[in-house]
Each structure stands twice: as C-alpha cells, then as structure tokens.
Structure 1
Amino acid sequence: MANQIIRFGVIGCGLMGKEFASAAARWCHLTDVDFEPRIVAVCDANPSAAEWFQQHVPSVERTYSEYKELLADPSVEAIYCAVPHNLHAQIYVDIIRAGKHLLGEKPFGIDQDANAVIQQAIDKMPQVIVRCSSEFPFFPGAQQIVQWVNENRFGKIIEVEAGFWHSSDLDSTKPINWKRRIATKIHGRSWHACAPFASAFRQETKKCPFALTKIVNECPDGRGGTAPCETWDNAVLACEVETADQKFPMLLSTKRIAPGHANTWFIRIQGTDFSAEFSTKYPKQIASLPYELGRPQAWHVWDVPNKSAYGTITGGIFEFGFSDSILQMWAAFCDEIVNRSGIRQFFHCATPEEAAGSHLVFTAALASERTGETVTIDWGI
C-alpha cells in the first residue's frame, strides 16, 4: 500500500529548512510507516535561499517571497516554520488560523506574552496539530532514559541535571547575528535544556534562582565596526522540583560559550534505586547505576543499540546522529497528523504546552537575575 502523502510548505529556507528537506529525501530509511512528507512549496524573503530548494528538492512546485501567499495555497496541508523568534507570534498565528498543521521552531514566541498569543490561536483551532521542534530527545540513549522515567526505575529522585552547550561564540571575531540581539532573541536555545524534563517535571518546578553570564560584550557588526552583544552568553538555572511525595534540585544550563562543545545536549538523573546519564557528545554510550542496599555502587557504561522510536534500515551496531534524530522527529509529527492520538510509538514531539512551560521557567529566571531573589513559579493550576 502506498504511503499517505502530507504536502508541506517550508517558511524559512535556512539551515533547518534544508535539514527537513534532507529528512524528507531520506524517508526510505524508515521502515513500517504509512505516511510521508512531500515539500511542495517554500517561502523565504531571500531568493537564493528558496532557489536552493528548487535546485535540490524535485517535489517543490512553487516558491514564494511572501508567506501569506504560501498559506493561501490550497495544496499545502502542513508547514514547517523556521524564522527568527520575534516573527513567531505573527507567522505562527497566521499559519494556525489558515488551518495548516505546524511544526515550529523553538521557543514559540520571543517572550511569554508572544507565546500566550500563539497559545490562544491554538485553542481556537483544536483540529490543527501544532508541535515544537525538539530533535535531541529522539536519540536512542535519551529514549532509553525516558523509558526508565516512565517505568519509575529511579526510586526517590536525588537530583536532575540537563543542559545544552556549544562554543561557537567563543570566537569574538564572529560577526553579530540576530541571535545576539534582544529585539530578535531572548532565550530560545534554553528550550533544549528544558526539553528533557518538560513532560516529567514541568508543572512541579517551583523555584528558580538564576546565574547569567556575559562573556563577550561586543563583536564585529559585519560592516567594519562593532556592535554590542545584547543577550546573555551562558545561563545556569537551579530549580527546586516538588512533587506529591518528594522534593529535589534540578540544574538546567544553556551555554553559548562552553569551550570544546559543539551542540552538546545531555541529561543526568540520580535516584536512590537507579541513576542514568546520556550525552550527545558520546551518542553511542549510555551510563546507568542500579543500586541494591548494601551492594557495591558501580556505573555501567554500554553502547546503546541504534534502536529508535521508528524502525530504520540501519543495523543496531551503527552510530545514531543528528540527521537521524531529525528524521525521527519528523516521523513523529507526520504520524500525529495522520493518526492523531493513535501514533505508532509512545513518544510524541514537544507540545505547545511544554514550550509555554519553558517560557514560564525562564521568565521567572530572568526575574530572579534582576532582583537577586529566588522566584516561585505560578503554573496557574
């Protein structure tokens, strides 16, 4: 039986748009799925960006420079949108109102107010599937830790740590871009640090003291002068998580300047019965420590099989990588469009509610930095 085709439009034809095009081209890598994305329209204000899709993606039928024209295209069922954060509220809302399914890039609005506007549009269009891009939890090692959390393997939680680190901004000669200006970005990369705990601990995070670090104060403006770097470089957030029967600390960190790291995403959970950790820096390895009273405490480090949410043609002995996680994320999104709640495996893409939770956490953290006080988060429930 032929796969059900989902006709996609791409708004924002930069790096991540190309990653989606690559994932769609590799769809034969997946086994036992009955759906498939097909990119039929693209939109970018930069003609050369859209031209890349015309040259490399044979399925593209139309290109646009104005996104509303793409939204008016009746042949487009779903949208992948990757635009600067200050454009999220307007464009995401227009996509949702047009009745197109949306996979949008983090952080779903430049700030909490913009995020609330997007959520209001979602509430009015319940038939539209809206999800937030978050590929790292689809690594097999991360999937294994999620499974252990769901199985309550850890006993009483002692501590959780999660983070997303990279080091490209250590180069002070790197020209400034929109990611270092407050008008276009506040805390978008912080979403990656939140993603590991979003489902498990989101509404139990109560208090947030925050440490923000500015390391590079100015950099080249690309025109022979310099420009101020307005956003923070590194952020460390110490949360207190309180559930019905326990309380524990959770350390979240997002770092633009972490020497030696290139998009390292990690999660560590320590518990009285079991501990585990995974990092994309060592994508084949996962570490775990099962504990029995009175028995020796020893970490077990092993190569996690290449076993992902959706089956692939790749043998279990081979390495899993970033492009594989993108493919898995797209499979989960397409699965929801076709099968709604009856998706083929247990792990869905990040939800708008989880993105809203990250805004709550990091808005509280920014308030903590301004006042020097610990901020208690009101989840409104």
Structure 2
Amino acid sequence: MKKVFRFGVIGCGLMGREFASAAARWLHLADTRARPEIVAVCDTNAALLDWFKDNVQSVRQFTSDYKELLANPDVDAVYCAVPHVLHKQFYVDILKAGKHLLGEKPFGMDAAQNREIMAVLAENPKLLVRCSSEMPFFPGAQKVIALAESGEMGDILEVEAGFLHSSDIDRQKPINWKRMADINGDYGCMGDLGMHVLHVPLRLGWRPQTLHAQLVKKITERPDGKGGMVPCTTWDNATISTRVSKGGQDFPMVLKTWRIAPGEANTWYIRILGMKKSAFFTTKAPRQWQWMDYTGGVQAWSTEDLGYGSLFPAITGKIFEFGFADAIQQMWAAFVDELAGGNANGFTCATPEEAQAHHAVLTAALKSGRENMVVPVDYEGATVR
C-alpha cells in the first residue's frame, strides 16, 4: 500500500484548489511511492472553505486561523499560498511547527524576509521545504533542460527566459493585491513571476554576476471594484539583461517578467542558443519543442511533437497533450516523491537555495531599474547572516 502524507492547505484560492484537484486525480499517475491526502484547510474566506467542504471529502478540519491548522497533529505537510506580505510570518510558523512545506514564490516578500525564513529552516534540517514552480515540468521544458545538462550545446551564445501575461493591458481591470506594493512587495511583477523564470537557469547553475534592469510602469491606478479608483503601485514589466560566467563560459542571459505583453495570455518560455546545439520551448506550443544541431552547412531548426511524455509516468496515452493541470500534478508528484525518500525522478521542485538566489537577482534588478545602472548580484548578502 502506498504511503499517505496528510496535508494542510493554508490559502484556499486558485492554487490551493489546483492542489486539491491534483490530489483527487492521483490515480492518474501510473507509479508513485506515495500520495497526498488533504485533511485540513485554512482561509479567511468562508466561501473558499465551503468549496473544500463540497468537493474534498478527506478534509476534517476547516478553520480561519492557520495556527489551529499547525497545531493539528494529523497534518504532516503544508501547502501555503498566501499574499507575499504574509510569507515570512506563515512560513516561519509552519517550520517551527515541524511541518514539511511547499510554499508559493517568492518565498518571502523581499530578501530580508527570505533570510529570516532561511534562518529558521537551518534550525529544522529534517524538514522537506520547496518552492512552487510548475512550468519546468512540461515535457518540452524537460527536453531543453536535458540537452543543456548534456554538455552537447557547445559554447553558449545567449539564454532567454520569460513569463508573459497580457490581462493588465486592460486599464479597467480591477485592482488586486498583486498590484499593491505594500502586500505584493517592491519587486512588483518580478516577485510574482521571477521564480518561474529563474527556476531553470538557476538549476543549470547559471547565476548572473551583473545585471541591468529596465522596469516599466504604465498603469498608475485601477478600479477598486466599488466605483472608485485606487493607486496601482507595482512595476508592470521587467526586462533584466544579465551576464553569466560558468564553466569557463561567459554569456548574456535575458530574463523577462511582463504583466503587459500584448496577446500573451500566459506564456512561459526558455531559449538556449549554443554554437553546436540550440533549444527552445514555449507553453504557446505545449506539445512541441524545437532544437537545432549545427555541424557545418545548413542551419535548420527541427520541431518534434512530444505528446504526453511526463517526468512521472501517467495513464494518459503518449499521443495526447500535456497541459497546465498536468504540470501542477507533476510538480506535486516531485514533492511527494521526495517526502517518501525518492529523488523526484531527477528534477525536484525549486529549492529554498534557488529561491534565495532568485531574491539576490531580483534585489539587484530593483536597484538597477530604479537607478539605471549595472549592478553586481550579491548572493552572499542574500544568505543567512
């Protein structure tokens, strides 16, 4: 019989319900060491608790006080999806309660808060802690990662990674907390999208040494949903041009976190250009990846339809398509596999150390964008002192 890990969910909104769906469909995975069971949920919105009452029969605790959930001895691990301003308080309390944690990015509203989380994590080394980032679990992304790890690409010419949204182009879109700096943090769009963009580069060991960021703010106010207008205080777009030195190579890497990218509903991509081989994947073409081999002569990109070739095998036939809900479930399969003593089939969720490094990059980008200057990335300053 598979081992069962009992989860509490703190924050029952969009991503909390995605986890509930992934857990309910665990039979979709063909071979796993363990499975999650959601036994407790917490949210201050009663309607969201009602959704879990109606749809997740395994839940036995419903509460608006997260500390009550943390006091529940039946909870082994917690998924926490709350506004950025609450990350430090909630994550620290989760760790002190002895619960394993999959936390939403950015893992602290800023680098200072992240350091405090990391300090408490260091005091609890037996806990498994990971940061949410599902896009690299697309089969096409895994193909790009594998090629980069193979060492066959030759000298790297450039890397570009990005996450592009478009709905903020609508000036009449009502405000929410991700557009409020006091709740989202000063990073703005970088705080919400940056870990998605940096997960793969950091996993490959590509840490920017210096960078120059161009931060764009086009929307200064939004409807408050009550007939009035309120300030919109976060950055809309960020384009971060960086320099990476790794393994004797030196190359540019461009990172984009855009909330106003016309026509891009929800596009994540990674492009790596090398002297021998190049590779590209985008969620705009989720069943494909592209690559180019160059040994002289014709330079031509190839495109392969991948179908359903997931990191964790599933019952879906290979000819069918992989989508966002599958990526979410694959991320959760990786986390639960590690809980059960596995290696996440070779690709773990984003680690706390990667989240910490991404804070160093975003902190430098914020300074660069504000002061219009090239800034070194201070990874030592981002670590626990």
Superposed counterparts of 1:13-32, under 5 Å: 13-32=12-31
Residue aligning to 1:350:
350
Q: Is the 8 A contact 1:206 1:376 kept in 2?
A: yes
Q: Distance in 2 between matches of 1:118 and 1:222?
A: 34
Residue aligning to 2:200:
196
Q: Distance in 2 between matches of 1:328 and 1:344?
A: 10
Q: Is the 8 A contact 1:42 1:62 kept in 2?
A: yes
Question: 1:225 offset after TM fit, Å?
Answer: 1.1
- Choose the corresponding residue for 2:277, options 258, 274, 278: 274
Question: 1:344 offset after TM fit, Å?
Answer: 5.3
Q: Distance in 2 between matches of 1:234 and 1:259?
A: 12
Higher mean alpha-carbon deviation, 190-199 vs 176-185, is at: 190-199
Residue aligning to 2:84:
85
- 1:188-225 Cα offsets, whole Å, 9 max, x none, are 222211122121134x3111100011111111112211
Q: What SS does structure 1 have at the residue aligned with 2:379?
A: coil
Superposed counterparts of 1:1-381, under 5 Å: 2-185=1-184, 186=187, 187-202=191-206, 204-292=207-295, 294-339=296-341, 342-343=342-343, 345-380=345-380
Gaps of 5+ in 2: none
Q: Is the 8 A contact 1:201 1:241 kept in 2?
A: no
Amino acid across the alignment from 2:371: T
Count of residues in correspondence between the two structures: 376
- 1:219-259 Cα offsets, whole Å, 9 max, x none, are 11122111111001110000000124110000000010111
Amino acid across the alignment from 2:139: P
- 1:116-135 Cα offsets, whole Å, 9 max, x none, are 01111111100000000000
Q: What SS does structure 2 have at the residue aligned with 1:201?
A: coil
For normalisation by structure 2, the TM-score amounts to 0.96
Q: Distance in 1 between matches of 2:202 and 2:247?
A: 17
Amino acid across the alignment from 1:250: M
- 1:103-158 Cα offsets, whole Å, 9 max, x none, are 00000010000110111111110000000000000000001111111111211100
Higher mean alpha-carbon deviation, 104-113 vs 147-156, is at: 147-156
Q: Runs in 1 of length 4+ with deviation above 2 angstroms?
A: 378-381
Question: 1:371 offset after TM fit, Å?
Answer: 1.8
Amino acid across the alignment from 2:376: T
RMSD: 1.1
Gaps of 5+ in 1: none
Amino acid across the alignment from 1:127: K
Q: Is the 8 A contact 2:10 2:81 kept in 1?
A: yes
Q: Distance in 2 between matches of 1:31 and 1:85?
A: 35
Q: What SS does structure 2 have at the residue aligned with 1:114?
A: helix
Q: Is the 8 A contact 1:154 1:274 kept in 2?
A: yes
Q: Distance in 1 between matches of 2:86 and 2:136?
A: 26
- 1:163-196 Cα offsets, whole Å, 9 max, x none, are 0001111111111010001111132222211122
Q: Distance in 1 between matches of 2:369 and 2:132?
A: 28
State the identity as a percent: 52
Q: Distance in 1 between matches of 2:156 and 2:298?
A: 19
Q: Distance in 1 between matches of 2:4 and 2:205?
A: 36
Amino acid across the alignment from 1:364: A
Amino acid across the alignment from 1:92: Y
Q: Distance in 1 between matches of 2:32 and 2:370?
A: 49
- 1:242-293 Cα offsets, whole Å, 9 max, x none, are 124110000000010111111110000000110000000110111100010x
- 1:78-121 Cα offsets, whole Å, 9 max, x none, are 00000000000000000011110000000001000011011111
